[in-house]
Amino acid sequence: MENGGRMANKPIPTRPLSENEDLLRQKFYESIAAQSDLMDKLAERLLTLELGIPGLFATVLKLTRGEDAVMVINGALNAAFALWLLALILTLLALTPKKWKVDVGLMKQDPRKLSESLGIEDFFTQSALHKRRLLTASSLLFFAGIFAAMFAL
């Protein structure tokens, strides 16, 4: 009996992975596991900017206005510092470890059951995705703060 041009009882030929294929598979899984670390490195750099830019901005305002000058606090200046504060909070949340329920006996969970527990691969993917979302929002807020600061002068 034929099934799509093949004999139904004919075995499918297989072969062991070559050294290069095995290396590629290993690197693939290493890249999945390293995504969360990459997000942490990005968060650290973003944190440096989020701490430095507002301080630099305040220093420049003080230097350009002079010692006895009075700075009028307007809505744009308040918005800039509020946005920078929110961005800083989101970055700190991205750096703070989150507890995940992981089934270590499972490599990849059925997507419909992710609310119950994660598989090992899901843990790395979801952890990185969680951090990426927080850092994306933080970056947007931070640059919105820079935009608002332009109107504060």
Asked if residue 114 lies in contact with residue 100, where contact means CB atoms within 8 angstroms, the answer is no
What pLDDT shows up at residue 106? 84
Buried b (16+ CB within 10 A) or exposed e, 130-152: bbbebbebbbebbebbeebbeeb
Q: Is the pLDDT of residue 6 over 70?
A: no
What pLDDT shows up at residue 147? 94
Domain that holds residue 94: 19-150
Q: Work out the mean pLDDT of the chain and round it to a whole number.
A: 86
What pLDDT shows up at residue 31? 87
> Is 49 within the bounds of a domain?
yes
> Is 144 within the bounds of a domain?
yes
What pLDDT shows up at residue 116? 81
Q: Which of 101, 91, 15 is nearest to 47 (CA)?
A: 91
Report how many domains make up the chain. Answer: 1
> Is 82 within the bounds of a domain?
yes
User: What's the pTM?
Assistant: 0.76
| Cα atoms found within 13 Å of the Cα of residue 54, Cβ hemisphere only | 22
Asked if residue 143 lies in contact with residue 51, where contact means CB atoms within 8 angstroms, the answer is no
Tokens at residue 18, please?
Answer: 């070559």
> Is 11 within the bounds of a domain?
no
125-146 per-position pLDDT tens digit: 999 999 999 999 999 999 999 9
> Is 1 within the bounds of a domain?
no
How far apart are alpha carbons 79 and 32 in whole angstroms? 38
Portion of the chain with pLDDT greater than 70, in percent: 90
> Is 60 within the bounds of a domain?
yes
Q: How far is CA 62 from the centre of its chain?
A: 35
> Is 10 within the bounds of a domain?
no
> Is 7 within the bounds of a domain?
no
